[in-house]
Amino acid sequence: MSTIASIDPATGHSVGEVVTTPVGEIPGIIARSRAAQERWADLSIDERVRVLAGVGPRLLERADELGLLLSREMGKPVGDGVGEVKACSAGWDEECAEIAEAIAPEVREDEKTRSTMYRDPYGVSVAITPWNFPMLMAHWQILPSLIAGNSVVFKPSEETPLIAQAYADALQESLPEDVLIVVHGDGEQGRALVAADGVDLITFTGSRAAGQHILAEASKQLKRVILELGGKDPLLVLTGADIDKAAAFAARNSFRNAGQVCVSTERIYVTEDVAPAFMDAFVAETAELTLGPGTHPDTVIGPMVNRRQRDKVAEQIEGAVAQGAQVAAGGLDAAIPGDNFIAPTILTGVTHEMDVAMEETFGPVAAVVTVADAEEALRLANDTPYGLGGVVFGEQELASRIGRRLCSGMVGINQGIYGASTDGGTPWIGARQSGYGFHHGREGHRQFCQARVVSTPKDA
C-alpha cells in the first residue's frame, strides 16, 4: 500500500500521511460518483442546501485545530491558517444561500411564450486543487458544484493532503455516500482523472502549464473546464500615489504566504518622480516582516512549501543578479532559519530580459523597474502572457485611466484587487493565459451548471 507523507516545510518533520489512490481504481470511482450524482440531482437546490447546513458550524468549531494543521502542512502563519478555515466556515449559510439564489430558475416571457432558464448539474465534476490555499480553493470549487447538483471527485495537492481530507470529511458527514469522493495522489492521478470517461466538468487551480495540459486533454471529449492559472501580477506606482499606502500594499501583497499566492505582486513599475520615496518606504516596510516557522507567534512570513519550490525561486534571484539586478532587501545571503526559507527580497534594476520579470516566481520576490511615465509602466505591465490581477496607485483619475487599460481580469485602483462582497461577491477572473472560465460570485457559481431553456406556449 502506497502512502503520501505530509511534511512540515519549516522543520522537515512528518505531519501525517494518507493512502495513495491506485490509478487503476479511478474508472470505478467515476462510476460510483455517477450513480451517486443521479440521486443527488433528484433533490431540489434548497434540499441540497439543507443537507449541507451543518458543515460550516462543524468546521468553525475546529478552526483553531484545523488552522494549526494547515500551517504545519504548508508553512503559512497559524493565524493565516485559522483565518482560511474561518473564511470557509463562518459565513457558510449565507454563502450557500447566495449560490442557491445565483443558480435558481428564471422565467422570461412575451405575449406568446413562457421560457424558463434552468441551471442544471453537469454530472460528475473533478476538482483538482492547490497547496497554497488548500482549504479555501477546495471550498470555492466544491461547494458550488455540490449545490448545483454535481457529484465531486476531489484530488487535493499531494503537498497538503491532511487539511484537504479534513475539509472533505466535514462534508462527507452530511452528504450521501459517494457524492464526494477523495482521490489522493500526484500528477499521475490528476492526469487519469482528467482523461477518464464519464467526467463532465473539470475545475483546476494551479500552473499555466498544467492548465494547458488539462484543456488539451479535456477538448478530446469537449468536457467543460474552469481553470484558474498562474499570474505575474504588476503593481504600478504613479505620479500622485499615496506613497505610504502603496509601499504597505507592496510589502503585504508581494510577500504574504511567502509570495505563494496567485495574485501576489511580482512586478512593480514605479515612475521616476516617486521612485526614491517609494523605495525607501518599501524597504522599510519589508524590514518589519518577521521570517520563521508558521507555528511561531511572531512569524509573518513562513517557509516555501518545499525545497523544489525554494530552489526555483533562488534560481530566479541568482539569474537576475547575474544579469545586473541589485538586491535592495533580503536576498539569498540574508539570515534564514531553515532549508525552505527565503527572506522577502526586493530586486531593483530589473529588465524584461530576466526570468524574474517574465516567468511566474511564486515566492517572496518583488522585481522593481523604474520607468519614465505612466504609459511606459502600462506598456511593460502588459508585456506578459499572464493576466490575473493588477493594481495601480496614483492620482485617482490617472490611476483609473491606466488601470482600465491593464490586461488583467481583476484590477485594483489605489487598493487591492478584491471586489465588492455584496450580492454573492465579484467573480475571480483571469484574462489571457491566467484563466479559462472563472469562479466565485454570482457569475462564477453559474459556471458549475448546464444552462437549459424550456419554452412552452403561454396559454398552455
- Is 228 catalytic? The answer is yes
Residues 455, 105: contact at Cβ < 8 Å?
no
Residues 405, 430: contact at Cβ < 8 Å?
no
Element housing 137 (H / E)? helix 136-147
- Of the residues 228, 266, 285, 360, only one is catalytic, namely 228
* Alpha helices (H) in 229-329, listed in sequence order: 243-255, 275-287, 307-322
Q: Are strands 224-228 and 201-205 parallel, antiparallel or unpaired?
A: parallel
- Of the residues 88, 262, 407, 449, only one is catalytic, namely 262
C-alpha to C-alpha distance for 244 and 241, rounded to whole angstroms:
9
Q: Is 328 helix (H, G, I), strand (E, B) or coil?
A: strand
Residues 162, 118: contact at Cβ < 8 Å?
no
Element housing 372 (H / E)? none
Q: Which residues pair with 450 in a beta bridge?
A: 120
Cβ neighbours around 201 below 10 Å, total: 26
Looking up cell 466538468 gives: 201
C-alpha to C-alpha distance for 381 and 387, rounded to whole angstroms:
10
DSSP state of 409: S
What one-character-per-residue DSSP string does 184-215 give?
--SHHHHHHHHH-TT--EEEEES-HHHHHHHH
φ and ψ at 266, to 5 degrees? Answer: -110, -25
Give me the active site residues, please.
228, 262
